[in-house]
């Protein structure tokens, strides 16, 4: 059972071909590496006293946001958010008391009037800052434009005239698009499914939704006249837990639980809810439909073929690239890690990894705001890309965490590279008048070692750096 709630109120073509087709359709994959079991987080005396005095924490969720979260017929919270919150609950000792609501709007209102202390899985916005405190992101997901098949690729939505975009009511993306793209006509509806259906039925020209939602819903509902038609790099979902503003201690407790969740655990959870289902949902009839569609498009002429190739190439790039930094994403890095481990084991050549973490990035976000924090990450990725060697692969594996794969590199050489990256970051002017630093954990492959074990040692080395004062390189 995937529910995290222990106190509940009464509820008012197989193989590679299949994977490749799924990538073209939805451009979303998360690769599960391992399932780590973490120890309970260390709470301060004040935090322990808070839990002892206050007891269960009331929680409101979106009751119909599959596969992120929903409330099932038994009144239980389930989905990706529920599984992540279950990890937070187990590691912090927080007991969540689910408050059922009819929809997300009611959950927001329940938070505003004090019936819910915590909201799950929401973006931080200026409007929500008025009554909520936010944890660091518990989950990151890209937003993309979804249109009908005949719609051209969207390079810049500011250049669209007379087109409409539909959102489920109360979303942060609606707030941002209203403010930044007044040329688009904004429509609202009751649910994710309604938004996609309105596009499919020509009642709206497009919607902007998450890659994961698109993957799940298009497959589940058979909306194969829809496609991914573009994305905005700074429009990612950085989903957090929102805590009422009067409860900063509770926010700090939950933040520690969020920080304890590893990228591998997030990958495993998403794979259970989305990736496997997407891959196994394709049958021969669907493959035939896709083949006929491509044949029809091919008949429209060379010009349209060229556009289609550009579009498909963009989708394939999106499936392998972190949309904010343009570095390889976690799925691509982990796939390359497996390849490099196999190559190093067969040739008996050295291989090392470096895990990098930006020190005190929470403070950067607090000073610069969400968009400023994104610009910081983009600049950091540029420094990283310019500093690593041509044989290395550097990618973003989560929040402010990055992984560098170092073929033909022993531990000492990898440590030297990590020091060079650290020096480059220290010497770069990310913010006027401020110096920034990183911590780095280095591990070299041991005979017979698995990818999980290698990453665990690098992660442990990173943890030693943080415990030892940060701004340093540690090896293990």
Contact 187, 204 (CB under 8 A): yes
Q: Is 370 exposed, middle or buried (0-12, 13-18, 19+ CB in 10 A)?
A: middle
- Give kind and range of the element (H or E) at residue 418: helix 411-426
Within 10 A of 215 (CB to CB), how many other CB atoms are there?
A: 24
End-to-end CA distance of the chain, in Å? Answer: 38
Phi and psi at residue 10, to the nearest 5°: -60, 140
Q: Quote the DSSP letter at residue 11.
A: P
The C-alpha atoms of residue 116 and residue 98 are separated, in whole angstroms, by: 9
CA angle, residues 102, 105, 106, in degrees to nearest 5: 50
Catalytic residue positions, numbered: 400
In the three-class reduction of DSSP (H, G, I as helix; E, B as strand; rest coil), residue 153 is classed as coil
- Give kind and range of the element (H or E) at residue 472: none
The C-alpha atoms of residue 245 and residue 257 are separated, in whole angstroms, by: 19
Number of residues that this document lists for the chain: 476
The C-alpha atoms of residue 393 and residue 290 are separated, in whole angstroms, by: 34
437: its two tokens: 């630093």
**In angstroms, how far apart are the furthest CA atoms of the chain?**
71
List the beta bridge partners of residue 167: 188
7: its two tokens: 């106190």
Q: How far is CA 366 from the centre of its chain?
A: 20
């Amino acid at each position: 059972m995937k529910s995290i709630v222990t106190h509940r109120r009464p509820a008012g073509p197989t193989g590679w071909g299949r994977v490749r087709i799924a990538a073209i359709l939805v451009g979303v994959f998360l690769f599960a590496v391992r399932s780590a079991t973490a120890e309970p987080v260390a709470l301060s005396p004040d935090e322990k006293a808070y839990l002892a005095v206050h007891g269960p924490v009331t929680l409101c969720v979106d009751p119909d946001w599959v596969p992120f979260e929903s409330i099932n017929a038994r009144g239980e919270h389930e989905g990706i958010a529920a599984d992540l919150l279950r990890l937070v609950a187990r590691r912090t000792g927080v007991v969540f008391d689910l408050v059922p609501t009819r929809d997300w709007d009611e959950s927001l209102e329940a938070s505003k009037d004090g019936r819910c202390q915590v909201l799950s899985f929401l973006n931080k916005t200026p409007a929500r800052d008025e009554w909520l405190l936010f944890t660091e992101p518990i989950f990151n997901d890209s937003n993309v434009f979804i249109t009908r098949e005949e719609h051209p690729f969207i390079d810049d939505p500011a250049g669209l005239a007379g087109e409409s975009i539909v959102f489920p009511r109360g979303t942060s993306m609606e707030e941002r698009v209203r403010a930044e793209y007044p040329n688009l006509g904004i429509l609202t509806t009751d649910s994710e499914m309604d938004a996609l259906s309105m596009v499919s039925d020509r009642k709206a020209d497009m919607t902007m939704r998450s890659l994961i939602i698109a993957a799940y819903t298009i497959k589940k509902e058979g909306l194969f006249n829809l496609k991914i038609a573009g994305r905005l790099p700074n429009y990612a979902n950085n989903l957090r837990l929102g805590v009422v503003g009067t409860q900063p201690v509770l926010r700090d407790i939950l933040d520690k639980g969020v920080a304890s969740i590893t990228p591998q655990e997030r990958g495993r959870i998403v794979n259970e809810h989305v990736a496997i289902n997407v891959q196994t949902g394709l049958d021969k009839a669907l493959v035939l439909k896709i083949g006929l569609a491509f044949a029809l498009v091919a008949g429209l002429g060379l010009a349209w073929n060229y556009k289609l190739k550009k579009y498909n190439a963009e989708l394939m790039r999106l499936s392998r690239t972190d949309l904010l930094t343009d570095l390889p994403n976690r799925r691509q890095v982990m796939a390359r890690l497996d390849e490099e481990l196999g190559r190093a084991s067969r040739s008996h050549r050295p291989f090392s990894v470096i895990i990098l973490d930006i020190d005190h990035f929470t403070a950067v976000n607090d000073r610069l705001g969400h968009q400023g924090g994104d610009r910081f990450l983009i600049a950091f990725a540029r420094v990283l890309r310019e500093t690593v060697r041509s044989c290395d692969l550097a990618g973003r594996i989560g929040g402010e965490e990055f992984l560098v794969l170092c073929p033909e590199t022993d531990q000492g050489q990898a440590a030297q590279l990590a020091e060079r990256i650290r020096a480059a970051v220290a010497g770069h002017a990310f913010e006027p008048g401020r110096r920034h630093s990183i911590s780095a954990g280095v591990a070299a492959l041991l005979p017979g070692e698995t990818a999980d074990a290698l990453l665990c040692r690098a992660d442990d080395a990173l943890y030693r750096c943080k415990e030892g004062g940060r701004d340093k390189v540690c090896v293990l």
